[in-house]
Amino acid sequence: MRDLFDIFFADDRAWWNYFITGLFFILAGIVIILVPEILVALIASAFIVVGLVILVVAWQIRRLHKPFRRIRIEYMD
């Protein structure tokens, strides 16, 4: 089993991933401070995406629930 050190520090180039991610978040923060409308658009788009995912999951649950309900009615009642 790999320990935590191996996961985070095994590759000598792994620190670049954290460095680039940090730079991205700093730049995104600066852009959001300069243009606050972008934050509103990001939050709104996140709500839309989450809403769509919830609708798809609900539709899949409904679709999968029908056969199980029929089986329960036939064999359990």
Q: Structural domain tally of the chain?
A: 2
The whole-number pLDDT of residue 8 equals 63
Structural domain for 4, as ranges: 1-34
Q: Say yes or no: 47 and 21 in one domain.
A: no
Q: Say yes or no: 16 and 28 in one domain.
A: yes
The whole-number pLDDT of residue 22 equals 93
Q: Say yes or no: 1 and 29 in one domain.
A: yes
The whole-number pLDDT of residue 65 equals 79
Per-residue pLDDT tens digits for 12-71: 666 788 889 999 999 999 999 999 999 999 999 999 999 999 999 999 888 887 777 777
The whole-number pLDDT of residue 6 equals 66
Query: Which residues, in sequence order, are CB contacts of 38 under 8 Å at separation 6+?
Result: 31, 32
* pTM, two decimal places: 0.56
Angle at 19 between CA 4 and CA 37, to 5 degrees: 120
